[in-house]
Structure 1
């Protein structure tokens, strides 16, 4: 398929659909042929390989049709970090409780290995999903000149990615809740990307957020896990209220967000 004559939004749609399809195939293979259900620690043994493939594909899209600067690796607007601080505070509090619980247990060599594997895999998740949805998709649709449309497409595409978890064994009735949670996450992160002007803080946060929530249940006691869940729930009103306020503030496409996007090349 020759995409050189495609618009940036069209290229982004192809990229996002391919990303979702690869993840869906991976979930199906994991559940059907390996007998591993989504959420089990063993899923990391396959997921890291799928995510390396997805990140390689992402690198192709960025280097061939966009640029690293164009999709968010730009000068950080430090003043806008204030929008991020409430959610960062929740993340820090979650990690403090987790580490305090971890200090009370003695991990085996196998558990340390699992800890490292989850850390590596969630790093790939954070990098891959942010590059695709707050990088490629968001910035591609900003070229339409409709900033809120671009943010909405970014949030919806990010949520739809997680619908494929049903192929990994997630109950069908649980999927809408997961879609709502991930949409809310994308609803907050899309305008935050435009505020910060840099995607790296989002990648780091996404990594540490997923890491602590995935690794904790198998390593800490129930009291610690319950305390962590209570803290994590504080993120919901922060994302909702903060997202709404930022959406109301951002009325036009920031010039810096599309200035570096290369023009299509006809070969």
Structure 2
């Protein structure tokens, strides 16, 4: 954390009252988190199981956001531009979930997860490009992953969740592209890395 904070402005030091309205741009992420928890906590999990899941998912969410929306996004943006950075960051984030095949995911489950992860990855990358703040994406990612780990899994609910994720993400992307101010016009002058 401390090493990365010296390399990438995480967002703690660039938020002011004039940017308070940008918090509203993160509400759809909150909706996705709520949807992820609708199945209810799996009663077969002990407190210890839940605690381990929370700790693991906190690390995964933090590290994935730092890598995909921090270092990778900025490196590509500096060299190839914002549009390519958002697209490549989002797609590589989604494709990175292919490792879940080792967790026993079947092919259709894996394709569904990768598709949803690409959609979410594009949204999170665009938010970072526009706001220069990694913190909301990290919090979303952590909470969303915890939900996916400790909530009762229903195959019928998983299909609905995927459709909601993709639908909300596409609408969200269109909205962000049209309404969210660019980092230059909103007063942010810091760049990642």
TM-score normalised according to structure 1 size: 0.58
User: In 2, distance between residues paired with 1:180 and 1:248?
Assistant: 23
In the TM superposition, residue 130 of structure 1 has moved relative to its aligned partner by 0.5
| SS across alignment from 2:138 | helix
Residue by residue over 1:72-113, the C-alpha shift from the partner in whole angstroms, topping out at 9 and shown as x without a partner, is 554233322222113313424654x56xx55xx9x68x7111
User: Structure 1 68/160 Cα, relative in aligned 2: closer, same or farther at 3 Å?
Assistant: same
User: In 1, distance between residues paired with 2:156 and 2:171?
Assistant: 25
Q: How does 1:11-22 map to 2 (within 5 A)?
A: none
Q: How does 1:1-267 map to 2 (within 5 A)?
A: 62=4, 67-69=7-9, 74-76=13-15, 77-92=19-34, 95=37, 97=38, 101=40, 111-144=46-79, 146-217=81-152, 233-247=163-177, 254=184, 256-258=189-191, 261=193
Q: Does the aligned pair in 2 maintain the 1:141–1:149 contact within 8 Å? A: yes
The runs of at least 4 consecutive aligned structure 1 residues that moved more than 4 Å come to 71-74, 225-233, 248-255
User: In 1, distance between residues paired with 2:161 and 2:97?
Assistant: 23
Q: Does the aligned pair in 2 maintain the 1:130–1:202 contact within 8 Å? A: yes
User: In 2, distance between residues paired with 1:251 and 1:86?
Assistant: 17
Where do 5+ consecutive residues of structure 2 fail to align? none
User: In 2, distance between residues paired with 1:253 and 1:144?
Assistant: 18
Q: Does the aligned pair in 2 maintain the 1:159–1:186 contact within 8 Å? A: yes
Q: How many residues align?
A: 187
Where do 5+ consecutive residues of structure 1 fail to align? 1-57, 262-267
Q: Does the aligned pair in 2 maintain the 1:147–1:253 contact within 8 Å? A: no
In the TM superposition, residue 180 of structure 1 has moved relative to its aligned partner by 1.3
| SS across alignment from 1:256 | coil
User: Structure 1 253/154 Cα, relative in aligned 2: closer, same or farther at 3 Å?
Assistant: farther
TM-score normalised according to structure 2 size: 0.77
| SS across alignment from 2:133 | coil
Find the structure with the greater CA-based Rg.
1
Q: Alignment RMSD, CA only? A: 3.4
User: In 2, distance between residues paired with 1:114 and 1:235?
Assistant: 26
